[in-house]
Structure 1
Amino acid sequence: MTGTTQDTTAPHAVDPARTGPLDAPPATGREDLPAVRRDAATALRALIEAAQDLDDDSLGSPSSLDGWTVGHVLSHVAMVGEALARQAELAAQGETAEVYEGGAEGRAAGIEAGAHRTRDEHVAALTAAGTRLEAAWSLTDSTGWDAPVTYREGTVADVLDCWWREVRIHATDLGEVSAAQRLTPSQTWGLAFTDHLLDFLSPRLPGPVVTVRHEDGARSVVGPEGVWPAVENTSTDDGLTTVAGSAADVAAWLAGRATATDPTAHRHGETVDLPTLGPWPSGVPVRR
C-alpha cells in the first residue's frame, strides 16, 4: 500500500472546543487500547471459525481483492499477524526492524507460499499468529505502548491499530465466503471501528467533506487533516460536500470495500458524485 500527499487546508466551521489530530495525547494515554485488543481478538476468532468451514474449492475461489483467492487473504492475515507481533516483540527489547523480513519481496513470496495451504494449515497459521500477538500485547502491557517501531514511524499502539484494521477489514474480503459467513462491514464493523477508519482513512479524501451518520444523525467534518464534529449548517455555509450513509457503509467506501448501500453525496442541495479517493495512507508516518 502506498502513501499519499496530505492536503494541509484546514476544515472550516468546526467545533472550536476540539483540538486537531496533532494535539492528540500520547499512546500511553489511550484508554481504548484494551477494547481495541479485545475486538481484534474477536475478529480473528470469527475469521478462524469461517476458515474451519472451508473446503479446497472455497479456498481457491476468488476473493474480493484482484488476483487473490480466499487462500491468499487468509495467508496474508496470518503473515501480517506474525510480522506485527515481531514489531511489538522487538520494541519491548528496544529494537526495531522492517515490518516484513525480506521487505516487499519477502511479503509477496510469503503470501503466495501460504495461499496454497490446506484448510487445517490455514487454521493453524491463523491460530499461531493470534497466540503470538496476544503474548506480544501482554509483554507490551509491561514494557509500554509508546515504544517506537518502524511501522509508519509509530509506536506499538499503532501496531495494534494496524492489526485491528487488518483482521477486521480482510475478514470482509473473502468474496462469497464473507457473505455466507456474515463477515461483511455492516454486520461486523462496530462504531468504534468505523470511527477509527474514518480518521485513519481521511487522508484519502481530496479535501474536507461533512459526513452524516444515518444511525444517529451524527455529523463530522472529515478531511486530510483528520475528523472533527461539525457545527450546524457546516456544509451549507462552507460549500462542502455532504456524504451520508450508515457508519459501516461510509467506512467501507473509504476503505474501497463493497457497501450494503452506497453512501450519497450532495452539495448545495444537488446530488453529486462521491469524492475521488487517493491512495491508502499506510505508507506515511502516523499522524499525531
Structure 2
Amino acid sequence: MTSPHAVDPAPTSPLDAPQAAPRDDLPAIRRDAAAALRALTEAVLGLDDEALGSPSSLDGWTVGHVLSHVAMVGDALARQAELAAQGETAEVYEGGAAGRAAGIDAGAGRSRDEHVDALAAAGTRLDAAWDLTDRTGWDAPVTYRDGTVADVLDCWWREVRIHATDLGEAGSAQGLTPSATWGLGFTDHLLDFLGLRLSGPVLVVRQEDGVRSVVGPEGVRPAADDASDDDLVTVTGAAADVAAWLAGRDPVTTPVARRGGARVDLPTLAPWPSGVPVRR
C-alpha cells in the first residue's frame, strides 16, 4: 500500500525555456494516455456507490478520491499547457498543495455519473490543450518540474496509467492492473523516470525477453554485455512487475534481486521524485 503522490505544486517560473531534444514519441504517448482514460472511464461505469466509497490501494483514499484526483490533475496539467501557449506560467494547482487537497476531497463524493462527466471534461480539455501545443510548440516552459509542455504530457501519461490501477478491488475486478494495462513503452518510461528512487544503478533483466538495462538516478540505458550481478544488484522480473515495484505498487510477482549469485533484498526506494527538476 502506498500513499498518494502529488504533482509538484512549487510555483517556480523559469525565464528561459529548457533546451530539449525534439521528440517523435509524443503522438504515441497522447494516444496511450487517451486509451488509459477511456479504460478508466469505462471501468467507472461499472461501479456503484458502494464501490466508489470503498478503499482504493492508496492509503487514506477511497476509489472516489482516486477518480477525483485524476480529473483534477488532468485539468491542472491542461492549464499548464494552455498558459504555456500564451507565454505564461503558474503553479500547477490553483491554491497550491492546500487547493489540491481540498479539491480532491470535494470531488471524492461524486456520483458515478458525476465522476464520468468530470473525467470526460478533463479529457476534452487536455485534447484541446495538446492540439494547441502542436501549433505553439512542445518546448514552451512550465512550472511543473521546471520543464516543458512535453514533460506535462509525460506527467499526464503517468498519472492516468498509474492511477487507473489504483482502484483497489473495484479496479482489479475489471482488469485494471499493471500487468494487464502497462505496455513496454510505458514500463520503459517508468524505469527512466523512477530511477531517481534508487540510490545507485541496478541491472534490470526483463523476464519476457531477457533484455538487460542499467537503471538508476541517471535514468535507463542498455547494459553492457559483460555486466553481471558481481558488479551490480540484478533485479529480474516481468516488465510490469519491475515498473510496479519502482512505482510503489503491488506487482503480480515480486521481482527477484541477486548479487554475486546470492538472493538479496530489493533495493530500498527513495520517495517519489515529485518536485525534482526534469533531467536533461
Considering the TM-score relative to the shorter chain, is it more than 0.5?
yes
Alignment of 1:1-288 (within 5 A): 1=5, 27=20, 29-236=22-229, 238=231, 240-288=232-280
Residue pair 1:2, 1:281 contacting (<8 A) in 2 also: no
Residue pair 2:84, 2:142 contacting (<8 A) in 1 also: yes
CA offsets 1:221-256 (integer angstroms, 9 cap, x no match): 111111111112312452x10000000000000000
CA offsets 1:195-236 (integer angstroms, 9 cap, x no match): 000000000001110000011100011111111111123124
Q: Which has the higher contact order (CA 8 A, sep 6+)?
A: 1
Residue pair 2:230, 2:261 contacting (<8 A) in 1 also: no
**Equivalent residue number for residue 12 of structure 2:** none
- Identity within the alignment, %: 78
Q: Provide structure 2 residue ranges, at least 5 long, that are not aligned to the other structure.
A: 8-17
Residue pair 1:62, 1:69 contacting (<8 A) in 2 also: yes
Task: Name the aligned partner's letter for residue 274 of structure 2.
Answer: S
**Mapped partners of 1:212, 1:146: distance in 2:** 33
Task: Name the aligned partner's letter for residue 167 of structure 1.
Answer: V
SS at match of 1:72: helix
SS at match of 1:98: coil
CA offsets 1:250-274 (integer angstroms, 9 cap, x no match): 0000000010100000000000000
Residue pair 1:2, 1:283 contacting (<8 A) in 2 also: no
SS at match of 2:155: helix
SS at match of 1:99: coil
Task: Name the aligned partner's letter for residue 181 of structure 1.
Answer: Q
Regions of 4+ moved over 4 Å: 25-28
SS at match of 2:228: helix
Residue pair 1:60, 1:71 contacting (<8 A) in 2 also: yes
Paired residues, what number?
266
Task: Name the aligned partner's letter for residue 235 of structure 2.
Answer: V
Per-residue deviation, 1:100: 0.1
SS at match of 1:282: coil
Per-residue deviation, 1:145: 0.2
**Mapped partners of 1:62, 1:2: distance in 2:** 19
Deviates more, 1:267-276 or 1:223-232: 223-232
Task: Name the aligned partner's letter for residue 279 of structure 2.
Answer: R
Residue pair 1:27, 1:145 contacting (<8 A) in 2 also: no
Residue pair 1:52, 1:119 contacting (<8 A) in 2 also: yes
CA-atom RMSD in angstroms: 1.4
SS at match of 1:266: strand
Residue pair 2:230, 2:259 contacting (<8 A) in 1 also: no
**Mapped partners of 1:254, 1:248: distance in 2:** 10
TM-score where L is the length of structure 2: 0.93
Assess, with a 3 A threshold, how the Cα gap between structure 1 residues 219 and 112 changes in structure 2: closer, same or farther: same
Per-residue deviation, 1:165: 0.2
Residue pair 1:2, 1:279 contacting (<8 A) in 2 also: no
Q: Provide structure 1 residue ranges, at least 5 long, that are not aligned to the other structure.
A: 4-24
**Mapped partners of 1:80, 1:228: distance in 2:** 30
**Mapped partners of 1:165, 1:99: distance in 2:** 16
